[in-house]
A = this chain, B = another copy of it.
Amino acid sequence: MRKTILIYGASMAGLIGMMKYIEYRYLIRDFSIEFYVGVVAIFFTMIGIWAGFRLTRKKVVIVGAPFALDEDKLQQLGISRREYEVLELIAVGHSNQEIADKLFVSVNTVKTHLANLFLKLDVSRRTQAIQKAKSFRLIP
Report the interface size for chain A: residues with CB under 8 A from the other chain.
44
Binding site for B on A (CB under 8 A): 12, 16, 19, 33-34, 36-37, 40-57, 59-60, 63-64, 90-95, 123, 125-132
Beta-carbon nearest neighbor of A89 in chain B: B127
Give 11 CB contacts A-B under 8 Å.
Answer: A16-B34, A44-B44, A48-B51, A49-B51, A52-B53, A52-B55, A56-B60, A63-B63, A91-B131, A93-B127, A94-B127
Identical chains bound together, number: 2
* Complex partner residue of A56 from B16, B53, B125, CB under 8 angstroms: B53
Q: How far is the CB of A7 from the nearest CB of chain B, in Å?
A: 12
- Give the residues in chain B near A34, CB-CB below 8 Å: 16
Q: How far is the CB of A58 from the nearest CB of chain B, in Å?
A: 10
On whether A128 and B93 interact (CB within 8 A), knowing A34-B16, A59-B60, A64-B63, the answer reads: yes
